[in-house]
Structure 1
Amino acid sequence: MDEEILYEANPSMFRNKPVMFILCVLLSVVVVGLVILIVWYVQTLATELQVTNKRTILRKGLLSKYTSEVWHDNVRNVQIRQSFFQRIMNVGWIGISSAGQSGLEIAIAGIPDPEEAKEIIDRHRIMES
């Protein structure tokens, strides 16, 4: 079976931190907020989570690159954290650990619909077992 992308997302800016986003927009009048918004935007564009039918991949970086992947048949634990406001905005933090490592191999905040990503991983983790 070929590998296909089932979920792909970059961290959300406004939905993850709406107060900070609004504050940066207000501060953009004095240029400081605009600089913060641009740096934040570039960071979110340079961070991507992909869930395929075989593995989960986290890619970070624009000039330098960082990639971490976990094959679904090795997934030991999937964690999701959402504050009350993140639940309302449907974003959150997701962490994935595998049987081969003691800590989290993939951890990313501000991901839209983290439950969907977890359900895809669980579904394919079960199919592999």
Structure 2
Amino acid sequence: MNEKKLVSAHFHPKLGVYWLVSGAIIITITVVGIPLLLLWFPVGLLAVRRYIANMSAELTEKRLIVRKGLLTRTENTVPLDKITDMALIQGPLMRLFGIYQLTVETAGQSGTGSLINLVGVVDVQAFREQVLLQKSLLTDRQSTVVDNVDIDQLLLENLQQMNATLQRIEQVLTPHSPQ
């Protein structure tokens, strides 16, 4: 799998602050968790920084590879020809920070929801366009190969039919020797 890496995603510098604020809002809403806010920011800041450091998204010639995780690290490798949808989502808090969530859905995916969720990719529209462009190029290349195989098969069949016809004509034109 030594494919050429075409694009690597970089993550928004405000992503950590977005996650901290999101967590703080959830903790505050629970009311019981308000005293935990004193622990949330220092511990959360450390966890968020490590999590973001472990995140990566790479586009190769044939695949999208996404790595992330803090305690449990996951790597999702999605063949480009299996991608069916790439949606951009931006909630109100995300809009405040200028951050988007990119979801990737694939053919044959089981369950509901998306296979991959990437939050905070810098210039997410350009990254999405690059993935879709590469998917399109790969699909075009594969259809060209299929077309060439079809054309070669048709040519072979036509040549075989022409050969059979010429042999029949040759048999008819060849004089029969009297016995």
Do the structures match in fold with TM over 0.5?
A: yes
Report percent identity of matched pairs. 20
Cross-structure match for 1:81 = 89
Indicate the SS of the match to 2:9: strand
1:43 counterpart residue number = 51
Aligned twin of 2:154: none
* 1:114 equivalent in alignment to 2:115: no
How many Å separate the matches in 2 of 1:113 and 1:16? Answer: 18
Amino acid at match of 2:7: L
Question: How far did 1:123 drift?
Answer: 0.3
Cα 1:36–1:62 shift into 2, 3 Å:
closer
Tell me how far apart the structure 2 counterparts of residues 34 and 117 of structure 1 sit (CA, whole Å): 32
Q: Which amino acid aligns with 1:73?
A: D
Residues 23-54 of structure 1: CA deviation (Å, up to 9, x unaligned): 8xxxxxx6752222111111111222222232
For 1:60-71, list aligned pairs within 5 A. Answer: 60-62=68-70, 64-71=72-79
Q: What RMSD over aligned residues (CA atoms) do the two structures have, in Å? A: 3.1
User: Are positions 1:8 and 2:9 aligned together?
Assistant: yes
Higher relative CO (Cα under 8 Å, sequence separation at least 6) belongs to: 1
Gaps of 5+ in 2: 25-37, 140-179
SS of the residue aligned with 2:100?
strand
More helix by share: 2
Q: Is the 8 A contact 2:84 2:105 kept in 1?
A: yes
Larger radius of gyration: 2
What is the CA distance between 1:110 and its match in structure 2? 2.0
Q: Quick one: which amino acid aligns to residue 61 of structure 1?
A: G
Contact 1:11/1:47 (<8 A) preserved:
no
TM-score by length of 1: 0.73
Q: Report which of the two has the higher share of strand.
A: 1
Aligned residues: 122
Note if contact 1:16-1:91 (Cα within 8 Å) is conserved in structure 2. Answer: no
8 Å CA contact 2:5, 2:61 repeated in 1: yes
The answer to whether the Cα contact below 8 Å between 1:94 and 1:107 also exists between their aligned partners in 2 is yes
Tell me if structure 1 keeps the 8 A contact 2:100–2:121: yes
